[in-house]
Amino acid sequence: MALPIETFFLSPNHQGTLQSQVQQMIAHGILSGRFGTGEKLPSTRKLAAHLGISRITVTLAYTELVASDYLTARGRSGYYVSDNAPVPPVYQPQPMAAESVDWTRAIGQRFSGGRTLSKPKDWARFRYAFIYGQTDPQLFDHANWRQCALQALGQRDFSALTADYYDRDDPQLIEFIQRNTLPRRGISANADQILITMGAQNALWLTAQVLLTQRRTAAFEDPCYPALREILTQSRCHMAPVRVDQKGLPPDAIPPQVDVIFATPSHQCPTTSTMPMERRQDLLDRARALDALVIEDDYEFEMSFLERPSPALKSMDVDGRVIYVGSFSKSLFPGLRLGFLVGSEPFIREARALRASVLRHPPGHIQRTAAYFLSMGHYDAQIRKMGAALHRRRTAMQAAIDAHGLEIAGLGGFGGSSFWMRAPAHKDARQLALDLQEASVLIEPGNAFFSGQDTPRNYYRLGYSSIQSDRITEGIARIAKAVES
């Protein structure tokens, strides 16, 4: 029996090439049981004419389908659904009568409902998106990333792609971080002192799980990265928020009973301040006096385009008290989910065992691709390019902000990719953000960064990692208008 030509149509929303769409359409017809064994496909000429595509595209698709045994070619008589085509069993799903499980009782621990940043998923549709931490297609070196990924997909790297590493990591990535990345931050570490994580988020989470219990106390910056506060809340430790000033976390304000201190000395999140060297030394001294550990989240040091970055706190640590968190999410892209932890071996051993239990290891292919991108020098070239672009945008931001008399609350003396802003005291930045969305402007309300119930509401963050320079002036003008109104 021949399959009627009307069965075949191309979806306008399909992603991928025409050939892949034709293949997919036929494979799906077979797998869903619509096309049966032995049925005859339309000729390549007919199908091409029907779909309005070139004949060679259809021929190539058919050839691929023959290779994977979905179709057979019978000489001049054409293509047929193969006798060997996969035929998956299809069952009729049971209709759900009614949920009889009492989920309020069944759920032992709740994790939802925390205060997080709300970022619209369709942020790219906003004309003036002062959003933070997404990837700018114009700044990311997509071509070379693609090249490195392709290399990591090759036969030579088959085992790096497919193997179960159990609790280990890609030795090539570890070696690069050890020999190149860390020395630039003044850090020396051996391979057993490094653990690859699913981004900085995962590094902070692992650290909190290993070090904190219900009987321990964590000091952390206020305001801070909201996801860190979530992690600490979930760990059920005692929480000691410490209000930051223009130089970051003030060591004297850390309460005496603290066990672990979370800090962002390079670029405080969200105020963007950089901790001066003297205070770094004070922080280490304070930690030693309290016998506390310091978790250094060094998430954006590469974006120090105004001044050379200060050495990491970890590089000044002579007694193994600092645990270092690195990330490739800001400098490459957040969808990569790749970061790392550096710390003393007894700590890394526990973090590694926990990671193995939670997820085994970050996918090998991702690790190997990053190793190539780093070792080929693409990473440094990209950082340089991004730094230059962010510098230009920052200059435009600063000029527009000054021209409109908006108030900068955190200046980011070393660079970075955002400004921390303060609206007049009576303004609620959440409402401001909603109003601005109407004008196609996206800003981030700042209240979610603060701890406690009665948080300041007039702060907001303006990211410039994804906005084009030529839209900055108009975007800031619209913000100024909304702030004034």
214-233 residues in contact with a copy of itself (CB under 8 A) are 216, 227, 230-231
**C-beta of 207 vs 273, nearer to a copy of itself:** 207
**C-beta of 121 vs 426, nearer to a copy of itself:** 121
3-state secondary structure of 324: strand
Q: Which one among 4, 75, 256, 346 touches a copy of itself, defined by CB under 8 A?
A: 346
Q: Does 480 bind a copy of itself (CB under 8 A)?
A: no
Please state, in angstroms and rounded to a whole number, the distance separating the CA atoms of residues 367 and 375: 12
**C-beta of 458 vs 465, nearer to a copy of itself:** 465
Q: Does 112 bind a copy of itself (CB under 8 A)?
A: yes
Binding residues for a copy of itself restricted to 168-197, rule: CB under 8 A: 168, 172, 180, 183-188
State in angstroms the smallest separation of the CB of 77 from a copy of itself.
Answer: 23
447-to-204, 266, 461 alpha-carbon distances in Å: 22, 22, 10
Please identify, among the stretches 26-34, 41-49, 272-280, 419-427, the one whose residues bind a copy of itself according to the rule CB under 8 A: 26-34
Binding residues for a copy of itself restricted to 352-381, rule: CB under 8 A: 352-354, 356-366, 372, 375-378, 380-381
Please state, in angstroms and rounded to a whole number, the distance separating the CA atoms of residues 457 and 223: 12
**C-beta of 116 vs 431, nearer to a copy of itself:** 116
Does residue 360 contact residue 205 with C-beta atoms inside 8 Å?
no
CB neighbour class for 238 (10 Å; exposed up to 12, middle 13-18, buried from 19):
middle
**153 CB neighbour count, 10 Å cutoff:** 15
Half-sphere exposure of 228 (CA within 13 A, CB side): 29
Q: How many residues make up the chain in this entry?
A: 485
Binding residues for a copy of itself restricted to 266-325, rule: CB under 8 A: 288, 291, 293, 308-309, 311, 315-321
Query: Six-digit token pair at 299?
Result: 């998430």
Task: For Cα atoms 228, 229, 231, give the angle at the middle one, nearest 5 degrees.
Answer: 65
Q: Does 17 bind a copy of itself (CB under 8 A)?
A: yes
Q: Which one among 46, 55, 115, 349 touches a copy of itself, defined by CB under 8 A?
A: 349
Residues 6+ away with beta carbon under 8 Å from 99: none
State in angstroms the smallest separation of the CB of 422 from a copy of itself.
Answer: 26
Half-sphere exposure of 457 (CA within 13 A, CB side): 10
State in angstroms the smallest separation of the CB of 298 from a copy of itself.
Answer: 13
State in angstroms the smallest separation of the CB of 11 from a copy of itself.
Answer: 11
State in angstroms the smallest separation of the CB of 401 from a copy of itself.
Answer: 26
Is beta strand 194-197 parallel, antiparallel or unpaired with respect to 217-222?
A: unpaired
CB neighbour class for 444 (10 Å; exposed up to 12, middle 13-18, buried from 19):
buried
Binding residues for a copy of itself restricted to 64-103, rule: CB under 8 A: 65, 68-70, 84, 86, 88-103
**C-beta of 375 vs 473, nearer to a copy of itself:** 375
Residues touching a copy of itself, count (CB under 8 A): 147
Binding residues for a copy of itself restricted to 409-468, rule: CB under 8 A: none
**C-beta of 368 vs 478, nearer to a copy of itself:** 368
Burial 333-350 (b: 16+ CB within 10 A, else e): bbebbbbbbbbbeebbbb
3-state secondary structure of 445: strand
Task: State the amino acid at position 420 in one-letter form.
Answer: W
Q: Does 111 bind a copy of itself (CB under 8 A)?
A: yes
Quickly tell me which residue has 């058919």 as its tokens. Answer: 62
State in angstroms the smallest separation of the CB of 17 from a copy of itself.
Answer: 7
Task: For Cα atoms 402, 408, 410, give the angle at the middle one, nearest 5 degrees.
Answer: 140
Binding residues for a copy of itself restricted to 240-259, rule: CB under 8 A: 259
Please identify, among the stretches 14-22, 405-413, 429-437, 454-462, the one whose residues bind a copy of itself according to the rule CB under 8 A: 14-22
